[in-house]
Amino acid sequence: MIFLIEYDRARGTVTRMRSYSDAARRSAEEERLQVELRRNRTEENVEVVLLEAPSEEALRQTHRRYFEDIVQLAQSSATSTG
């Protein structure tokens, strides 16, 4: 699966997430470009990314920074190393 994520850097939150099948890669890429252009015109501090993962659950594990705040990340890190 392909995931289009809009991440508000100032607030540290995902403002929008949309998933696409692997066969819809071209649509996902076009959408990402349109979103980036729109966000850049409004000068919003938003990161727009396309990520691949087998599932949303897997994505939330491999790219935790988009879904967890700094406290949660620190706690997870302390738990995994301690």
Q: Which amino acid is at 19?
A: S
- What is the spatial distance between Cα 4 and Cα 31, in angstroms, rounded to a whole number? 8
Least confident of 12-16, 40-44, 48-52: 40-44
For the cut 90, the answer to whether the pLDDT of residue 75 exceeds it is no
pLDDT band with cut points at 50, 70 and 90 for residue 32: very high
Name 14's bridge partners: 7
pLDDT tens-digit series, residues 44-65: 789 999 999 999 999 999 998 8
Distance CA 10, CA 26 (A): 29
More confident residue, 40 or 31: 31
pLDDT value of residue 42: 84
